[in-house]
Amino acid sequence: MIEIAHVSKWYGAVHAVKGVSVRIEPGRVTALLGPNGAGKTTLIRMITGYLAPTEGQITVCGHDTVEQSGPARASIGYLPESAPLYPEMSVEGYLTFRARAFGVPAAKRRPAIDGVIQRCWLTEMRRRRIGALSKGYRQRVGLAAAILHDPPVLVLDEPTSGLDPTQIRSMRELIRSLAAGRTLLLSSHILPEVELTCDRVLIVAGGRLRADGAPGELVGSAQARAAYVIGLSAPAANAQAVLNSVPGVERVEPDGNRWRVWPRHGTGDLREPLARAAAAAGWVVIELTREKATLEQVFMNVIHSEQPADSANARVHDQAVPA
C-alpha cells in the first residue's frame, strides 16, 4: 500500500509535482503514465525515498518515507529508470551485495539469489560481468535485484525498456505474477502494453494527477466521444450540412472523400440516424464505422486538455475533442 497525501515537489523555483494525492492498493498493477517532464520520475523517486517531498506526506506500508525511511525503503523493491548497475561486478556478486544491503539473513541469501536468477532468466549469465551484458539482460538484473528481498511493494520505472518483443511478453507475465499480494506500481511509455498488463492507470501531466481509472473505464469514457467515419458513394457539396443536421451531432469535418462526425456528449449510437439521413438525401453509404478509442487517445486527450483536474479521483470527462 502506497499512500500519497497532498505531495508537492519544488526544485528551486521549478514546481515539478503539484499537490498529488492518491492511494495505491495491493494486489493490482497500477501504471503511472505521463509525458517526459510530467513529474512521473520525481513522484517515483519520492515514493522510493530517493527524494523527500517539499510538502505533503508519503507512506509505504504505513511507514513515512521521511520519518521512518529505513522500514519504508526496506519494504520497497525499486527498479530505477534504465537500471543503473555497477558494470565491474558479476551478476551474482551484485545480487549478493543487494541482499546484504537489504538485510536478507545469511541463511536465506543463497536461495533468494537462486530464486530471482531463475525467475528473471539469468541462469546462464550469473557469473558474467554486468558491463558485458546487453541492455535487456541488465534490465533483468535490475528487476532481479528489486524482487530479491521479497518486498511487499514494487516500483518499476520503465521495466520493459530495452527488451525485445519476446522478452516484453515474458516480462508482462512476470509482472502479472509478481502483482499477486503485492502493491505494484510501474511506469511505461508503451501504452498497448499498459492496457494489457495494468488494472489501474494514473496519468500525470504538468505535475498533476489528471486521470485515474481502470484502462477499460478510461478507454470507455473516451469511446463516448469517439468519431464516426462515414463514406458516401458520390460526395455531395451539401453532405457536411446534411450530416450536421442529424440530432446528436456536434461537428462534421471532411476527411478526404469521407466525413468524420463527432457526437455530442451523452448521445447514443449515431450510426443508424446517420445512415438514414444519407439515404433520405439519396446517397449510398459505402462505409460507416465508429473509431475505436485506445489508451493512447485517452493519454493524448488528457495531456492536451487545458483544465487540470483538482481532485485525486479525477476522471476523464469533459476532455477536448481529439485534434
Find the DSSP H helices in 30-164.
40-47, 69-74, 91-101, 106-119, 135-147
Contact between 71 and another protein per CB under 8 A: yes
Pull the grid cell for residue 220: 470507455
Select from 315, 270, 309, 267 the least CA-distant residue to 288. 270
Kindly state the smallest distance separating residue 272's Cβ from another protein, in Å. Answer: 57
The pattern of x and - marking residues 30 through 69 that bind another protein according to CB under 8 A reads ---------------x--xxxxx----------------x
Q: How many residues bind another protein (CB under 8 A)?
A: 31
- CB-based burial, 193-211: b 16+ in 10 Å, e otherwise: bbbebbbbbbbbbbbbbbb
C-alpha to C-alpha distances, 79 to 11, 48, 119, 199, nearest whole angstrom: 23, 10, 16, 20
Task: Give the residue carrying C-alpha cell 450510426.
Answer: 271
Among positions 100, 135, 265, 317, the unique one binding another protein when judged by CB under 8 A? 100
Could you tell me which stretch among 25-33, 99-107, 173-181, 245-253 binds another protein (CB under 8 A)?
99-107
Which of residues 103 and 247 has its CB atom nearest to another protein in the complex? 103
Binding to another protein, residues 169-228 (CB under 8 A)? none
Kindly state the smallest distance separating residue 90's Cβ from another protein, in Å. Answer: 10
Contact between 98 and another protein per CB under 8 A: yes
Among positions 4, 39, 40, 80, the unique one binding another protein when judged by CB under 8 A? 80
The pattern of x and - marking residues 144 through 173 that bind another protein according to CB under 8 A reads -x----------------------------
Could you tell me which stretch among 23-31, 79-87, 164-172, 174-182 binds another protein (CB under 8 A)?
79-87
Kindly state the smallest distance separating residue 33's Cβ from another protein, in Å. Answer: 21
Kindly state the smallest distance separating residue 159's Cβ from another protein, in Å. Answer: 15
**How many CB atoms within 10 Å of residue 175?**
20
Could you tell me which stretch among 100-108, 179-187, 217-225, 245-253 binds another protein (CB under 8 A)?
100-108
Contact between 23 and another protein per CB under 8 A: no
Residue type, 285: V
Select from 238, 272, 265, 229 the least CA-distant residue to 249. 265
Residue type, 98: R
Select from 167, 166, 111, 165 the least CA-distant residue to 143. 167
Number of alpha carbons in the 13 Å side-chain half-sphere of residue 83: 27
Using a 10 angstrom Cβ sphere, with 0-12 exposed, 13-18 middle and 19 or more buried, the burial of residue 45 is buried
Contact between 85 and another protein per CB under 8 A: yes
Which of residues 47 and 295 has its CB atom nearest to another protein in the complex? 47
Among positions 20, 33, 78, 153, the unique one binding another protein when judged by CB under 8 A? 78
Q: CB of 251 within 8 A of CB of 237?
A: no
Select from 208, 179, 183 the least CA-distant residue to 35. 208
Contact between 256 and another protein per CB under 8 A: no
Which residues lie near another protein (CB under 8 A)?
11, 45, 48-52, 69-71, 73-74, 76, 78, 80, 82, 84-89, 93, 97-98, 100-103, 106, 145
